[in-house]
């Protein structure tokens, strides 16, 4: 059996996807292989809606069929090629969840471009770093974000604007192009997509995904969510993040389903959002843990989701209260699953199976998940925590090729193992339970935040001698960003100083990275070599939060 035959089985046998993943694990990756041309165009062309865009503010609706989606991305490829854009060119994409997101992403994959999605809430400070790290050949953005991008650029790439922008080609010019285009020959080491991701040291690095392994590997995500061809699917995730590619693009398009893209600005109006789900008869719904906590805390009287069949969450464990309250109200069980920016879905509670609150489920067959102790020995005992790793990782469908940083690669690829950086344990039945990160990355409201980024912005305020940023336990967000700060001489430890620092950081970083808690200290715990002991600070912070203790010079900032 080859990959094409496997996709034929996927389309016909939704209930056998888990077994199909076992078949996939034993298949050698095909080369050359163009997923868009050889799979998507073969199985999913039709007049059925591929994407429905709905704007919650002005109630505008746009529908794009599968056939129109194929036509549009071919036209975009032809437009780019007319302007001399060749295979491996770097394309940055920054916009809300507009329908263009789908055909730009598929165009990049078919034509062999390297796509770098950007979240719309990135600041100029963050954009300048990204553009200096990887110089763009092409920028595609909506007109509002194009203004911010243009102020951050040092070179002059080809600009394509979604909407009118004086210094850019309007994307509507694709309508002058032919609607057929030949795809490039793609190989495993051809990079399709790069995500900037936060690490424990230094500024963000890129996660580099294969043009062959990544799209095929998304079969694991489609299996975890349980999307079917006749479903309307919604994912509450912003463009620019891996979760958007997972759950808004590849999973529903792999199933031949319809994606409903609900565009909202500002703070999420929970009630209105759920009402939209009901009005569109949504069948499968994916949201982060923060959103699920908001949902069950809201007034849900009168809201009905009669067509909802599958509800899933990823990012951190959900407790029994959230799962039970949602099930009592709407009849579906919110199922946890696990994956990373570096992968597709790796572990999941599968559709139709009982869910143990707090468990992320069992490993999906495409990933050989093991637990390791500190000496890199595999742990076979139940309930013994260890580091999650992918064994024999090379050629794993869905797993990334590596980081842009060689030192980081040496840290995570050791022998035959890829180390995820997450600690977990399993029970007697093979269900996995998340324990913690093994590094200093902060997990807050479905975001990964590197302490160095925040510390750099804090130092940039000019009044701070040094700082250490850690995650502070929080019921709603899982963790908040907490900054321990040593001030330069001449500055007072008071709320006014804390507010000055907070406002300074606010000019440089998006809201989710801001230090919500600031505590002034005389010094920071360090190793003999001078490295800050963030683990000590995390333990101090955990104890304080558990006992409702507030330090003498500790201040709580409100972000909004």
The Cα–Cα gap between 366 and 94 comes to 31
pLDDT tier for residue 531 given thresholds of 50, 70 and 90: low
Q: How many other CB atoms are there within 10 angstroms of residue 31's CB atom?
A: 12
β-strand pairing of 369-372 with 478-487: unpaired
Q: Which two tokens stand for residue 419?
A: 């180390």
For the cut 80, the answer to whether the pLDDT of residue 409 exceeds it is yes
Domain of residue 495 covers: 442-556
Phi, psi of 284 (to 5 degrees): -135, 140
Give the chain's domain count.
1
Q: With bands split at pLDDT 50, 70 and 90, how would you rate the model's confidence at 68?
A: very high
Is 171 in contact with 146 (CB distance < 8 Å)?
no
Cβ neighbours around 395 below 10 Å, total: 14
Rounded Cα distance, 310 and 332, in Å = 7
Instruction: Give the pair of three-digit tokens for residue 353.
Output: 């199976």
In a domain, 469, yes or no: yes
Residue 160 is assigned to a structural domain of this protein: no
Q: pLDDT per residue over 220-267, tens digit each?
A: 999 999 999 999 999 998 899 999 999 999 999 999 999 999 998 878
Q: Which two tokens stand for residue 449?
A: 């935040």
Segment 434-448 shows an average pLDDT of: 76
Segment 483-521, tens digit of pLDDT:
999 998 899 999 999 999 999 999 989 888 999 999 999
Confidence of residue 560 (pLDDT cuts 50, 70, 90): very low
Indicate the pLDDT class of residue 343, thresholds 50, 70 and 90. Answer: very high
DSSP calls for 297-341: HS--TT---TT--EEEEESSPPPHHHHHHHHHHHS-PEEEEEE-T
DSSP single-letter state for residue 28 = P
- Comparing 100 with 8, the larger pLDDT belongs to 100
Handedness of CA 406, 407, 413, 419 (dihedral sign): negative
**Confidence check: pLDDT of 396 > 80:** yes
Alpha helices in 331-371 (DSSP H): none
pLDDT band at 559 (very low <50, low <70, confident <90, very high): low
- pLDDT of 388 strictly over 80: yes
Q: Where would I find the H helices in 65-192?
A: 66-82, 100-111, 124-133, 143-150
Q: Is residue 412 part of a domain?
A: no
What length does the chain have? Answer: 560
Q: What percent of the chain is modeled with pLDDT above 70? A: 97
Note whether residue 111 is domain-resident: no
Q: Which two tokens stand for residue 544?
A: 């304080």
Rounded to whole angstroms, the Cα distance separating 120 from 113 reads 21
Q: Is residue 437 part of a domain?
A: no
Q: Map tokens 């095909």 to a residue.
A: 30
pLDDT surpasses 70 at 529: no
Q: How far apart are CA 159 and CA 79, in angstroms?
A: 12
For the entire predicted model, the pTM comes to 0.83
pLDDT at 357: 84
Q: Residue 368 and residue 396: Cα distance in Å, rounded?
A: 9
Band (299; pLDDT cuts 50, 70, 90) = confident
What's the CA angle centered on 94, arms 245 and 79, to 5 degrees?
90
Contact yes or no for 385/435 (Cβ under 8 A): yes
Q: What is the pLDDT of residues 108-117, one digit of tens each?
A: 999 999 999 9
Q: Kindly report, residue by residue over 176-221, the tens digit of the pLDDT.
A: 999 999 999 999 999 999 999 876 566 788 999 999 999 999 999 9
Q: Yes or no: say if 345 and 219 are a contact pair by the CB < 8 Å rule.
A: no
CB 364 within 8 A of CB 223: yes
CA-based nearest residue to 106, from 286, 281, 312, 259: 259
Q: What is the mean pLDDT of residues 325-343?
A: 93
> Among 299, 360, 362, which residue's Cα sits nearest to residue 325?
299
**Do 365 and 398 touch, CB atoms closer than 8 A?**
no
pLDDT at 484: 94
Lowest-pLDDT range of 14-18, 22-26, 164-168, 335-339: 14-18
Distance CA 313, CA 334 (A): 7
Q: Quote the CA–CA distance of 3 and 27 in Å, as a whole number.
A: 8
* Nearest Cα residue to 242 out of 135, 315, 295, 336: 315
Those residues with Cβ within 8 angstroms of residue 33's Cβ, 6 or more apart along the chain or in another chain: 3, 186, 187, 212, 216
Cα separation, 429 vs 362, in Å, equals 9
Whether residue 249 is contained in a domain is answered as no
Residue 458, domain member (yes or no): yes
Q: Measured between alpha carbons, how far is 157 from 139 in angstroms, rounded to an integer?
A: 7
In three-state secondary structure terms, 455 is helix
Establish how many alpha carbons lie within 13 A of residue 133's alpha carbon, considering only the half-sphere containing its beta carbon. Answer: 19
**502 lies in a domain?**
yes
For residue 281, name the pLDDT band (cuts at 50, 70, 90). Answer: very high
CATH number at residue 472: 3.30.300.30
């Amino acid at each position: 059996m080859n990959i094409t035959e496997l996709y034929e089985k996927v389309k016909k046998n939704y209930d056998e996807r888990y077994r199909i993943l076992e078949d996939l694990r034993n298949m050698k990756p095909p080369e050359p292989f163009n997923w868009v041309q050889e799979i998507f165009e073969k199985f999913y062309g039709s007049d059925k809606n591929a994407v429905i865009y709905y704007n919650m503010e002005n109630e505008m609706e746009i529908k794009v069929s599968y056939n129109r989606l194929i036509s549009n991305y071919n036209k975009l490829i032809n437009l780019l090629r007319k302007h001399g854009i060749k295979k491996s060119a770097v394309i940055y994409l920054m916009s809300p969840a507009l329908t263009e997101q789908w055909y730009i992403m598929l165009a990049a994959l078919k034509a062999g471009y390297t796509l770098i999605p950007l979240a719309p809430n990135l600041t100029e400070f963050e954009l300048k770093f990204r553009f200096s790290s990887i110089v763009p050949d092409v920028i595609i953005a909506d007109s509002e974000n194009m203004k911010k991008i243009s102020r951050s650029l040092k070179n002059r790439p080809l600009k394509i604007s979604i909407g009118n922008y004086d210094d850019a080609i309007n994307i509507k010019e694709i309508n002058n192009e032919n609607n057929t285009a030949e795809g490039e020959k793609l190989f495993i080491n051809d990079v399709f997509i790069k995500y900037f991701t936060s690490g424990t040291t230094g500024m963000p690095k890129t996660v580099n995904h294969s043009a062959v392994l990544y799209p095929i590997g998304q079969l694991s995500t489609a299996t975890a969510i349980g999307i079917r061809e006749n479903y309307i699917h919604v994912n509450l995730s912003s463009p620019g993040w891996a979760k958007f590619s997972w759950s808004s693009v590849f999973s529903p398009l792999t199933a031949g389903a319809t994606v409903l893209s609900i565009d909202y600005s500002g703070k999420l109006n929970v009630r209105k959002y759920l009402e939209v789900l009901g009005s569109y008869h949504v069948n499968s719904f994916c949201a982060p843990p923060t959103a699920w906590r908001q949902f069950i805390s809201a007034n849900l009287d009168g809201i009905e989701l009669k067509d909802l069949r599958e509800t899933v969450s990823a990012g951190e464990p959900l407790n029994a209260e959230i799962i039970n309250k949602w099930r009592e109200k709407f009849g579906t069980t919110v199922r946890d699953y696990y994956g990373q920016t570096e992968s597709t879905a790796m572990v999941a509670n599968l559709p139709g199976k009982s869910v143990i609150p707090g468990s992320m489920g069992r490993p999906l067959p495409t990933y050989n998940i093991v637990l390791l102790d500190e000496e890199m020995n595999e742990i076979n005992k139940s309930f013994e925590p260890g580091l999650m790793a992918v064994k024999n990782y090379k050629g794993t469908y869905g797993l990334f090729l590596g980081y842009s940083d060689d030192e980081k690669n040496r840290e995570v690829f050791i022998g035959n193992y890829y180390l995820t950086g997450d600690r977990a344990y399993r029970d007697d039945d093979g269900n996995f339970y998340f324990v913690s990160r093994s590094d200093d990355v902060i997990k807050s409201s479905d975001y990964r935040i590197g302490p160095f980024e925040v510390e750099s912005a804090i130092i940039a305020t000019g009044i701070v001698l040094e700082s250490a940023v850690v995650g502070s336990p929080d019921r709603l967000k899982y963790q908040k960003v907490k900054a321990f700060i040593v001030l330069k001489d001449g500055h007072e430890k008071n709320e006014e100083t804390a507010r000055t620092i907070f406002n300074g950081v606010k000019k440089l970083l998006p809201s989710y990275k801001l230090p919500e808690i600031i505590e002034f200290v005389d010094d920071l715990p360090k190793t003999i070599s001078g490295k800050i002991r963030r683990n000590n600070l995390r333990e101090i912070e955990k104890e304080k939060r558990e006992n409702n203790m507030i330090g003498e010079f500790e201040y709580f900032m409100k972000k909004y």
